[in-house]
A and B are shown apart, each in its own frame.
Chain A
Amino acid sequence: MKKQLIVLLTAVFTGLAPLQAAPVKIAAALPDIGSIASYIGGDKVEVFSIGKNNSNPHAVEVLPSYMIKVSRAAIYLKVGLALDQWSDSIIDGSRNSKLLTVDCSNGIVPLQKPTGKVDASMGDIHPDGNPHYWLDPANGAIIASNVVAALKKADPANGPYYDKNYERFREESGKRIADWKSRLAKVSGQKVITYHSSWIYFTTAFNLAIAGTVEPLPGIPPTAKHLAELVAIIKRDGISILLQESYFPDAAPKFLARQTGVKIFKFSPSCADVKPDSYFGHFEEIVAQIAGR
C-alpha cells in the first residue's frame, strides 16, 4: 500500500499521472493562420491572434500584454516574408526559451518577388516577395502542413490526431476551392483594381488580372495624377471590380466609383477570428459578394 502511494505521488509530481493534458497554447501573428491552427489542433489547442482583421498587418503596435501572453505559449506562428517584423519584437520580449517559432511561409511560392536592387524608391516593398500568401486558399494547406509539423513537435502524443485533421483540412479545402472557382467562373479573366497589393494571391488563384492599384506604389498614398490614370484605365478596360482593404481610407476608391461606376468591394484581407471555420468563411464571404454582384 505504502509502495503504491509513493508511486502515485511520484507520478503526480512528475506529471505522469493520467490527468487531462492542458491544451497547447498557440500564438498566431494573424487570425487566418490562427484559424488554420484551430482547425488542425481542435480541442487539443488554445489559439489566440496578435493581429486583428481590421488593422493593417504591416504595422502592429507591440503591447506589453502580447509579450506576456506569448511568454505562456508553446508555439508562435509567424507570417514571414518580412510582413510581421513586429513578431520578432514580441517573441524576444516574451523571454520564452521553450517557444517553438514557425515561419508559416515555409513551402509557399512567393509572388511578385523583386529581382535586382530593392529600395524604398519602390515603396514599401518586401524583398522576399508579396507576403499576403494566405489569400490563395490553396496556400492554406501549406500553412496547415507547417502547423501540423509544429504541433507534432510540441505535442507528439497527439500526432495522429493532428495528421487526421490535416487530411480533413486538405479534403475540405479542395472541395471548397473547386466550388469557389465555379462560382467565380463568370468573372474569370476579368481585370480588377486593388487598393494595396494584398490581393495578388487571390486574383491569381481565381484567374483575375490586376490592372492597377490605388496606391501608385505599395504604401504610398494616391496622387491626383495617379487617380486620373486609373480612371482612364477603368474606362478603357471596362473594369467593374475594385478590391479595397478595410483599413484604408475610402476617399480615393469612392472618387473612382463616382468617376467610372466601378463597384467597391471592401474586405479585410484577414478573417474575423481564430475559430476553425473562419479561414474558409472569409473566402466564402468574398466569393459570395463578388459572384453575387
Chain B
Amino acid sequence: MFRTRIVLIIAIAVLCSVVCCGDLRAGVVNPDISVIGQLIYKYHDDKAATNARKPTLDLGETELVFDSYLNPYAKGTFVFSVGDEGLGTEEAYIDVVKGLPDGLGLRGGKYRIGFGKLNPVHPHAYPFVVAPRVMGAMLPGEDGFNDIGTRASYFLPMPWASDISADVLKGAVFHPDETNAAASWVAHWNNSLTLGEATPLDLGVSATQGTNNVQWRTKTAVYGADIKTKIPFSSLTNLTLQGEYFYNNSSVVVDTTTGDTSHMGRQGFYAFADLRFKQRWNVGLIYDQYNPLENKNLTNSAIKGFVGYSLLEETTLLRLTWERFKPENSPVVHTVMFQVLFSMGPHKAHQF
C-alpha cells in the first residue's frame, strides 16, 4: 500500500512537471499547484481498538490542490487526496465568479458542502488535528459532508453582510451502500456583522435533507446553527470562539417486510476557543457532545486541548492535541496526537 502511494505521488509530480513545461507553449497557462503533507504520531488507550498503548506513526492524507481561472468568468479547483486507500478526488468543481447578475454565484462539481462553519474547511486549516466527533456523528459522509451537486448563492441586500445558498446534490452520501440515487438538498444562510471596530461575528443556519434508504424512501434531515467571532486583544493576540449545534432527525426502516419506520431525533454540538499569540503560537480547548447513532438515549462527550506552532505561515506547522473521550456506556479513552503539517505552493487566504 505504501509503495502504491509513493507511485501515485511520483506520477502526480511528473504530471505537475509536464504542466509546468506549459510555460514554453503559447496559450498554455499553469494552474496554481500546492501540495500538503502530514505526519501524525498517535498514542491512545482504547483497548477496543488496535494499537492500544502503542505509539504509531502515520503519513495521513497527502493533499494536492490545483486551481486556476478557466476563462474570464469561471475558476476551476481540483483537490486530490492520496492516502492508504489510494488516490481519491476529494473535490473537483467550477465556480462561476463573474458574468452573472451581481451577487449571484454558481458552483458545480464535487465539493465540501457549506453546512455550518467547519465542514467546508479543509482539515489542514483547523487549529486542531482532527474534527470534533460530533461532525461525523451528525452529518452524512465518512470524511466530512462532501457530495456532487450544484450550488447557487446570492448576497442578500441587507444592511449587514448576508449570504444565502442552496444546493441540489446527488445525495449518494446519505445512502452510501445503495446504487440507486436519490437527490438531496442543502440550504445555508450566513450573516456577518462587525462589532466595534474590528471584531467580526458570523451567525448562520443550515439545513439539509436526503434519502437514507432509496427503496423505502426514508429520509434524514439535519438542521444546524453556527456562530463564530474573533476578538482582537492586540496586533499579535486574538481569541477565536466558534460553536455549532446540530439536530439530526432520521426515519429508519425497522421492518423490511412491512416497511414500518421509526423516527430518531439526535442532537449534538461543539464549541471551541483558540487563542493566538506571539505571532506563531496558538492554544485552545474544544468540547463536543452528541447522541450517537447506535443509541439516541446515550450522550458521548469529548474534550480536547490543543497547541500549535507555525514556523513560516502554513509551510511548516506543528500541532499537539490531547483528547479525553467519554462514551456514556464505555470506558474513557485518552488520545494524544502530534501532527507535522508541511506544504509547498501558493498560500491561499483562509476564509474566516
**Once the chains bind, are B163 and A68 in contact (CB under 8 Å)?**
yes
B349 touches A85 (CB 8 A): yes
Contact indicator B347/A85 (Cβ below 8 Å)? yes
Instruction: Give A120 to B345 CA distance when docked, in angstroms.
Output: 9
A95 touching B100 in the complex, CB below 8 Å, given contacts A63-B200, A89-B349, A249-B236: yes
A-B contact count (CB 8 A): 96
CB distance from A292 to the nearest CB of B (A): 25
Distance in angstroms between the alpha carbons of A97 and B74 in the assembled complex: 11
A interface majority secondary structure: loop
Known contacts A62-B349, A64-B161, A95-B102, A120 near B190 by CB under 8 Å:
no
Report A264 CB to chain B, min CB distance, Å.
16
Choose among A58, A63, A88, A92 the residue that contacts B352 (Cβ–Cβ < 8 A). Answer: A63
**Is there contact, CB below 8 Å, between A62 and B350?**
yes
Tell me if B235 is interfacial: C-beta within 8 Å of chain A. Answer: yes
Contact (Cβ within 8 A) A61 B350 = yes
A65 touches B194 (CB 8 A): yes
**Nearest CB of B to A158, in Å:** 23
Q: A64-B192, A221-B280 are in contact. Are A95 and B97 (CB under 8 A)?
A: yes
In the complex, whether A146 has a CB less than 8 A from a CB of chain B is: no
How far, in angstroms, from A90 to B155 measured CA to CA in the complex?
Answer: 14
- Distance in angstroms between the alpha carbons of A246 and B230 in the assembled complex: 20
Contact residues, B173-199 vs A (CB, 8 A): 190, 192-194, 198
From B264-272, B310-318, B326-334, give the one contacting chain A.
Answer: B310-318
Q: Is the CB of B351 within 8 A of A54?
A: no
B198: contacting residue among A52, A68, A120, CB under 8 A? A52
- Judged by a CB distance under 8 angstroms, whether A124 is at the interface is yes
Give the most central of A56, A88, A97: most B CB within 10 Å.
A97
Contact indicator B100/A219 (Cβ below 8 Å): no
Q: Say whether A98 faces chain B, with CB atoms less than 8 Å apart.
A: yes
Partner of B98 from the list A88, A95, A220 (CB cut-off 8 Å) is A95
B352 to chain A, nearest CB (A): 5
**CB < 8 Å: which of A67, A68, A93, A247 contacts B235?**
A247
Contact B102 A96 (CB under 8 A): yes
Q: Say yes or no for B75: interface residue by CB 8 A criterion.
A: yes
* A58 to B348 Cα, complex, angstroms: 11
Which of these, B155, B312, B351, contacts A89 with CB under 8 Å?
Answer: B351
* Cβ A220 vs Cβ B100 within 8 A: no
Please give, as numbers and ranges, the residues of chain A lying within 8 Å of B40 by CB-CB distance. none
**Nearest neighbor of B73 in chain A, beta-carbon distance:** A97
Q: List 7 A-B contacts (CB under 8 A).
A: A60-B349, A65-B194, A68-B155, A85-B347, A96-B102, A97-B100, A246-B235
- What residues of chain A have their CB less than 8 Å away from a CB belonging to chain B? 52, 54-56, 58-65, 67-69, 71, 85-86, 88-90, 92-93, 95-98, 120, 123-124, 219-221, 246-249
The 10 A-B pairs of least Cβ separation, nearest first, read A86-B349, A68-B161, A65-B161, A247-B235, A65-B192, A64-B192, A54-B235, A89-B349, A97-B98, A63-B352
What 16 additional pairs, Cβ within 8 angstroms, besides A68-B162, A85-B346? Answer: A56-B235, A61-B350, A64-B163, A65-B161, A67-B155, A69-B161, A88-B349, A89-B351, A92-B97, A95-B98, A97-B102, A120-B315, A219-B312, A221-B311, A247-B236, A248-B236
B residues sitting closer than 8 Å to A (CB atoms) are 75, 95, 97-100, 102-105, 155, 160-163, 190, 192-194, 198, 200, 202, 230, 235-236, 278-280, 311-313, 315, 344, 346-352
